[in-house]
Structure 1
Amino acid sequence: ISAYVPGVRNGDRITLRQLAGMRSGLFPYTADADFVHDLLSDPYRSFTPRGVLAYGMKHKNTFKPGAQFQYSNSNLVLLGLVIEKVTGQRLDRVIHERVLRPAGLRNTLFPTGAEFPEPHAHGYTDQTLSGETEDSTDWNPSWAWAAGAMISDLHDLRRWAKVVATGELLSPKTQAQRLKTQPTGFPGLSYGLGIFDANGWIGHNGSLPGYETVTVYLPAQKATMVIMINTDSLSGGQEPSTLLARAVTGIATPDHVYDGSATQGRNTP
């Protein structure tokens, strides 16, 4: 990563593959207490990629590169900066031209501000300074940037689930590399390059304050599952989208019960 972005702790030893596979050892900026306070005290403010990275860079790395798995949004923000440097374009343009357009995702966007196309559901979160549930619909998602500041609808996610799991936009060789999953330490869940395998279900989950998704595809049965809900308030310490996905697959695909979350928690504690 140091060849693209200076100032990353141990950056001369952390590879792009380790960033994509969540094995860099970089401290997740969303776990920094100052970041949490700054976000929740003014959730309408705008963050920059380098600004959010600074919160994580205050901390020592949590392990040596490649030693283990730890989900860290710092990894994805850094990869976003790499994309901008290599292409010479803003990340939102690259995603639109190279991902959304060729995949036919007409109702999906990478917001450049706090825009939220109508119609949309209101989102509710208890990730607040008071701990009380609040309406987070218009909170600014800029703090997530390349780590998940995207907006979509049910039909596009249904299309995307198969596209990403089967590698429609990639060469077979590249997709094979992406699907080389490794253990995460969580039962039934292995992680590749920005994608997971949860007992046969290939894809990813997502969470912002007030909203959660699970978008996965089961090649063994050519089945697609998309869950979109408008709360991220934990239930029994678990993400509600994970609980719903587990319940659905327990009935629909009992031999392949979804029982994993790549984040194993929420984007902000």
Structure 2
Amino acid sequence: MSADAIYMQTIIAGLVMVGAYAVGKFLKFSTELCMFVAVIGGAIAGGAGFDTFRHIAEGSVTYLDIGLIFVFATIFMNIIKESGGTNYIVRKIIGAFHNKRILMLILLMLVILVPGALTGAGSISVLVVGGTVAAALNAMGLSKVRISALIFIVAGLSAAAPPVNIWAMMTCAGTAISYVGFTMPLLVPILILGLFSVIYFGRGAKNIDKEKALSEIPDPKGLSGWSVAVRFCCARVLAWGPKNLAVRISGSWIASCFCNLRFGCVADEFQESEYSEGQQGDCGAIDTANSNYCSRRHADTGNEF
């Protein structure tokens, strides 16, 4: 085939892909389905034939391990949240470091970093620990603007923090190289930027009233440090097993989900304790966790906040 013919075939395939994508959008398909239709149209126009299905199958499983990591790590972190683990951790930090502002800010930064680092998504950090950390920062006298900025920036950094960096993993999967050697090159700059962020936005923070701050964060009844730590320990131990990263992380998350046999009871006690307190939480954008419970109580009681 001559160069002109190849050039023309490429242009035709590109135009078909654009047209197929536009048709999908006109039919109100989702972006993913529009891209799928565009790929099918481009493959047919390019003369790929039955190889189209082979490429679709191979391309689908190329990032399967990344999908497994994201899904199971997200489930794991939501179990920690729903069982009251995040509230327990933040309450312990407040109890031990309420009169040490810098140390408390650094530890709260690490709390925000962990969910995103394990899942590869900064939004998980905001959803899982954002509301609880916001309550602690609010008790330190920081403005809502600074609290929002601090949580947003550190959560964004958590998405790039090891061990799960989605962008690096996708690059490795697409180029058939091993996802190794990324820990320190990613961890060092993330910690430096995170420390700068908490010190910059946390300037002017005050020593907090321990009892007042603890009263604003629900106390998870029946939860202990062991029941929170054992799941992370189980995940870490199992991560030393199989060589495949997806198998290690997915398997460790599944096993750690069942480490605390009293999870269902603890979660129920934790939510019931919040309902029984009868306190109206802030339903603003900052306190995401409390706003969820406000919405539930509003639906149950029919009262307006």
The structure carrying a bigger helix percent of its residues is 2
TM-score (norm 1): 0.30
**Bigger radius of gyration among the two:** 2
